[in-house]
Structure 1
């Protein structure tokens, strides 16, 4: 038997805004809130325990230091990479420089709180 990733937790200065951003990026919905201000978002049809992990956006006032050691990769499901890049930028993502050469087939972006993620070229089938 093996483990499965069920949740990813992201610390945020503004959990509300980051939950809205990632919900729009991933097509997720709010699943619940905790007394500590954490907001869990996930797939609308499955929620926690489904085939995709949920995201828990947790409040934190700790400053981020340097490049993240773990980041998310996303792939468009219904449009090409350039159209998805335009959509992500309109949602509030921004370009990020983590030392890429410029010849990569992916775009390095940052969410509104500066957390890096990559938009891959490959389009994948929606669940």
Structure 2
């Protein structure tokens, strides 16, 4: 039996990080329904404190998600007030091909990523990077 799943990233600024990853991967930020959010507040199911304005829109403070435009695969970025302090136990690998790896590293560094190190195992090589909140990922 196959399961559908999403990757969830804890972060202190989920909407900004979702924007960064959506641009990085060429995915789309899931829209949030401001009318629904206002209705939930009006009915007492939520409070104004649970919302923020991001890029001019009312959104849930707790998180944002991005989706692959064709497959629907999803990454969720959820609020956690604690900053990242240790190495990730799970990380994302972005496959760009050896011929594109240097250019992709440079592009992402220009957008706020940090190059951590280059590594190789047999014929496979990759760059380990960190996103703007310090979450590690690899470019292969």
TM-score bracket for this pair, using the shorter chain length? 0.7 to 0.9
Structure 1: runs of 5+ lacking an equivalent:
48-52, 121-127
Asked if the contact 1:28–1:42 (Cα under 8 Å) also holds between the matched residues in 2, the reply is yes
Asked if the contact 1:24–1:91 (Cα under 8 Å) also holds between the matched residues in 2, the reply is no
Per-residue deviation at 1:44? 2.4
2 CA distance for matches of 1:94 and 1:103? 15
2 CA distance for matches of 1:63 and 1:111? 13
- Flag the structure with higher helix content: 2
- Flag the structure with higher strand content: 2
| TM-score, with length taken from structure 2 | 0.68
2 CA distance for matches of 1:21 and 1:119? 16
| TM-score, with length taken from structure 1 | 0.74
| 1:68-107 alpha-carbon deviations (Å, 9 max, x no partner) | 1111110127x6111111111122110225xxxx552110
- Please tell me the root mean square deviation across aligned C-alpha atoms, in Å: 2.0
The correspondence for 2:93, drawn from 66, 69, 73, is 73
Moved over 6 A (4+): none
1 CA distance for matches of 2:61 and 2:24? 24
Structure 2: runs of 5+ lacking an equivalent:
33-58
Q: Which residue number corresponds to residue 90 of structure 1? A: 110
- Figure out how many residues of one structure are paired with residues of the other and give that number: 109
Q: Which residue number corresponds to residue 42 of structure 1? A: 67
